[in-house]
Structure 1
Amino acid sequence: MTPLAEIEARAARNHLMVAGVVGGVETLPKGAQSLILLAPDEPAFWPRMTDSPEWQDGRSDPIDRWSKRIIGSLAQTLGGTAIFPSDGPPYAPFFTWALQSGRCWASPVNLLVHDVAGLFISFRGAIALPYALPSNSGTRPCDTCAQPCLAACPVGALTDAGYDVPACHAHLDATEGADCLTRGCLVRRACPVGQDRRLPEQSAYHMGRFHR
């Protein structure tokens, strides 16, 4: 069994962080006793990503290909099995695992919020392990927050009522939406947790992929 601290250190070498540990639940893959969720360790992740062979070769899906190479290698080292959000259907229950980890919760605007990454939480993959790991659960930040996310969207596309995707796209099509499109969603940026972690150029890339 590899201790959690050593797993975290190995992930950090590739600018990934163990964003949660899941154990003792029925949603674990068959034969697994625990599962680690791996997220970008920002802001250092993006320079590492854009300097990778997958990014430089000009082929499609560079981030997914990088994730499979890096996380696949780490899984092999740990004696586990790599799982990716892009694999499917059927797709692995990453949203459920995130909630079960004790590090993510439903935010006031219904997006996942993480105790370190805030509303910018995303998962590059997971590793199912044949041994148990201790929990690394945290505290829900929204419970002591003024919740500026609720009023941050200029067109009310993200609220406690849900996500109005057409309104979001319409805003991004307009001149007024340039700030969101080039620097990232204002709602995500409003969260006090994780502010300044994600680089604007990384947000611009993801927003461009979303608004195609």
Structure 2
Amino acid sequence: MLDRLSRWLAPHGLILRGAFHAAPEDGLPGSVRTLVLIGTAGSAMWQPFDEVRTPHTHALDIWTRELIEKLADEVGAQVFFPFGGPPYHPFQRWAGRAEPGLEPSPVMISCHPDYGLWHAYRGALAFKEKLSLSTPPTISSPCVGCADKPCLTACPVQAFDGKSYDVAACSDHIRSDAGQDCRDRGCLARRACAVGQDHAYAPDHARFHMDAFIKARR
């Protein structure tokens, strides 16, 4: 089943982001036995999305929902999304169950051992069947061995302190003339992380997310 899902998602730049067998503490319906996470890494999904996107404010969420719901219908799965709430599903907790070495970074984004800070979750498929899953390797978070933590010193307005995120300071900076670099190329703190640099978002992709962030703060 997992191979089938991967082949279906590949043309859209989406990938499987791990899977796990459901436990009572996962907050899933009792009928669910396996949860498979779907997401992105780098800008692989940007071109397929950019070719069909509309100027709608939530264009990416709409595109994601249509694709993953179509896949869910084909494989007989229930689907969950990290958007569209409340209520909101615990995707970060699910991600920690699905992928080894994934833990929150000092800038509040989960750092992946391979993708660094350049990844996202777009949905999850819930199956009533207990799918065959391989045992994931034991991997430590890349943040554990990072002594310098450049992500905490790169922000021009010190929006991150390792425990919290000053959204207002970040938003004001991005909208200002001084914030053009962040606005055009993506968050400087995010770009300072040495992990996953090969997966850093393409400029158009980064600008799309920054524009969406600015619109959400109006």
Aligned counterpart in structure 1 of residue 119 of structure 2, from 106, 118, 121? 121
Tell me the matched-pair count: 207
1:65 to 57, 62, 67: 62
The TM-score, its normalising length taken from structure 2, stands at 0.84
Aligned-pair distance for 1:35? 1.0
CA contact (8 A) 2:32 2:127 kept: yes
1:109-156, Cα deviation, whole Å (9 max, x unpaired): 332112333212221111111223425466222233353212221221
Identity of aligned residues (%): 35
Aligned equivalent of 1:178? 180
Which residue number corresponds to residue 8 of structure 2?
A: 10
Q: 2:145 & 2:74 partners in 1: Cα distance? A: 39
Structure 2 CA distance for partners of 1:17 and 1:91, relative to 1, 3 Å: same
Hey, what does 2:28 align to over in structure 1?
Answer: 29
Deviates more, 1:140-149 or 1:174-183: 140-149
Question: Structure 1 residues 182 and 202 mapped into 2: Cα distance closer, same or farther (>3 Å)?
Answer: same
CA contact (8 A) 2:41 2:120 kept: no
Q: Is the 8 A contact 1:119 1:194 kept in 2?
A: yes
Report the equivalent of 1:169. 171
Structure 1, 109-118 or 67-76: larger mean CA deviation: 109-118
Distance 1:106 1:42 in 2: 18
Structure 1 length-normalised TM: 0.87
Decide whether the 8 Å contact of 1:102 with 1:138 is kept in 2.
no
More moved, 59-68 vs 144-153 = 144-153
1:20 corresponds in structure 2 to: 18
How many Å separate the matches in 2 of 1:13 and 1:173? 35
CA contact (8 A) 2:33 2:127 kept: yes
Deviation at residue 63 of structure 1 after TM alignment: 1.0
| 8 Å contact kept, 1:102–1:137 | no
Structure 1's unaligned 5+ residue stretches are: none
Match of 1:159, SS? coil
